[in-house]
Amino acid sequence: MAGKVEAICDSHGNDHGELINILHEAQHLMGYLPEEVQRMIARKLNIPVSKVYGVVTFYAFFTMTAKGKYPISVCMGTACYVRGGEKLLDEFKRVLGIDVGETTPDGRFSLDCLRCVGACGLAPVVMIGDKVYGRLQPVDVRRILDELDA
């Protein structure tokens, strides 16, 4: 893994101006950006690790926790909010027993919020992996989780 991350840095000429692109690729490779990876990138680009950490934590897209097998993202865009997105999120939290940004101990599900996938006609919307589930109500949550788990 270390070799691959270093190769990503090399492919961007170890240029610190390319940090965000490098982090995108590293996260695509690993699924998340753990501390070791950030240290490695900092060393390669010859910048303080605090700088890398500062960028990772600044942007919502970057994460330092591993996602579940089924990453669940509940849309918290305004259109979904007024059509009941928050109630949907509460139900996911309750059923899974985890908070936003966390992963279930068995590694199956992780829960996140996202801002607008642009499918506002289907609000409220939940994305699980690449699939968009639209027009959901809290009563549908358990059924969907059961279907995924089956």
Partner 1 sequence: MKILTIGDLHAVRSEAVKRLMLREQSDSTVSEASSGLDTGTERMQVLICGGTGCKASSSALICERIKEKLGDRGIDDRVDVITTGCFGFCEKGPVVKIIPDNTFYTQVTPDDADDIVDNHIICGRRVERLLYVDPKTGRSVSDSKHIDFYRKQMRIALRNCGFIDPENIEEYIARDGYFALADSLLNRTPEEVIDEVKRSGLRGRGGGGFPTGVKWGFARKSVSDVKYVVCNADEGDPGAFMDRSIMEGDPHSIVEAMALCGYSIGSSNGLVYIRAEYPLAIHRLKTAIGQAREYGLLGENILGTGFSFDIEIRYGAGAFVCGEETALIHSMEGKRGEPTMKPPFPAESGYLGRPTNVNNVETFANIPVILTKGAEWFSSIGTEKSKGTKVFALAGKINNVGLIEVPMGTTLREVIYDIGGGIKGGRKFKAVQTGGPSGGCLTEKHLDIPIDFDNLVAEGSMMGSGGMIVMDEDDCMVSVARFYLDFTVEESCGKCTPCRIGNKRLLEVLNRITAGKGTEEDLKTLSTLGKVIKDTALCGLGQTSPNPVLSTLNHFYDEYLEHVRDHKCRARQCKALLTYLINPALCIGCHLCAKNCPADAIIGDVRKPHVINPDKCIKCGMCMARCRFKAISVS
Straight-line distance from the first to the last Cα atom of the chain, in angstroms, rounded to the nearest whole number: 32
Phi first, then psi: give them for residue 72, nearest 5 degrees.
-105, 125
Task: Return the beta strands (E) in 6-138 as ranges.
Answer: 70-75, 109-114, 126-128, 131-133
In the shown chain, the binding pattern of residues 31 to 70 toward partner 1, with x for contact by CB under 8 A and - for none, equals: -----------------------xx--xxxxx--------
The upper half-sphere exposure of residue 86, i.e. CA atoms within 13 Å in the direction of its Cβ, equals: 3
Residue count at the site for partner 1 (CB under 8 A)?
45
Task: Give, as ranges, the residues between 94 and 113 that touch partner 1 (CB under 8 A).
Answer: 94
Q: Which of residues 123-142 bind partner 1 (CB under 8 A)?
A: 123, 125, 132, 134, 137-139
Longest dimension (CA), the chain: 52
For the CB of residue 32, give the shortest distance to partner 1 in the complex, in Å: 14
Q: Which residues bind partner 1 (CB under 8 A)?
A: 15-21, 23-24, 54-55, 58-62, 76-83, 86-87, 90-91, 94, 114-123, 125, 132, 134, 137-139
